[in-house]
Amino acid sequence: MVKSNDLFNRRIPEIETLNMWKEHDFIDSPFVEIPHIVKLGKETKIIVDLKYPKLGMQNAIKKCLIRKEVFERLLIACTILPQGLAFRIWDIYRTWSLQNELYYVYKPDIIKQFNLENLSLDEQDKIISNYVSIPNKDEVLPPLHITGGSVDLTITDSVTGKDLNFGIEFDDFSDLTNTASYEKENLDGLVRDNRRLLYNIMIESGFTNLPSEVWHYDYGNRSWGYYKKKPAIYKGVLEIDKIPSIISFKEFIAELEKEKNEISMELKKYQWDYADSFER
């Protein structure tokens, strides 16, 4: 496991942006509904605070759904996260309807922010897709969040509820949205260290980062496959009623107790608890 000092000392590398990745070996994996609060022992480690319902997106869903294997790795990340800190979850699974809505809401702002007005539509979409996936209905090559394998999150003080400073707000697209942007000299060292903390914890836990977004991490989808050079294991699920299986946190823990793989054996070392409200 990564040492505490390494969480801040390991630089975030400059990584090329995601290209199309077609290799896949899909598995039949259930989704887990994450409760509002997940605790490691008595300490809060996950706070579900979904952004798009709050922003009034018409197609936002209020359930926080995640693939089982992705959730396992997120819990591993919780065991690395220093005491007193928690993950704040902004977004995981999206329906195609929400992805389509987000694309058309954010597209004009991204075009204006990055001065894309004079580019062709294809050239615009290539850049826009670094921030908002093009809303195609291809289940083999879907938008990343439609797989249930993408996690948008930050780190927060679990006592005060105040988020760490990452130098940018969620979905506030600019050059500073790039994960490694604060590795440059003469930029805020505290922001750089906060970004390193999140990045190194998530990478250590088996995720990959979408380099154009500091808050976006993947497991099992085509972005993860591209950076890991492995087949993607999750196909897209276009709408919530198409999800074949959704299990509760209790059911997830019960299934975990029966399993004997490396990840499950590691997670069994810890006492997990949850709450269905934000009171803690």
Looking at residue 279, its pLDDT comes to 47
Angle (CA) 61-64-69 rounded to 5° is 135
- Residues in the chain with pLDDT values less than 50: 279-280
Quick check: 261 and 27 in contact, CB under 8 A?
no
Q: What is the pLDDT of residue 2?
A: 58
| Pairwise CA distance, residues 235 & 219, whole Å | 12
Pairing of strands 150-157, 216-218: antiparallel
Q: What pLDDT shows up at residue 280?
A: 38
How much is the pLDDT for 3? 60
pTM of the model: 0.94
Q: What is the pLDDT of residues 135-144, one digit of tens each?
A: 999 999 999 9
Return the domain boundaries, the chain.
Answer: 4-275
| pLDDT computed for residue 188 by the predictor | 85
Looking at CATH, the fold of the domain delimited by 4-275 is given as Muramoyl-pentapeptide Carboxypeptidase; domain 2 (3.30.1380)
Location of structure tokens 């999150």: 153
- List, for residues 39-84, the tens digit of each pLDDT value: 999 999 999 999 999 999 999 999 999 999 999 999 999 999 999 9
Rounded to 5, what percent of the chain is helix, strand, coil? 35, 15, 50
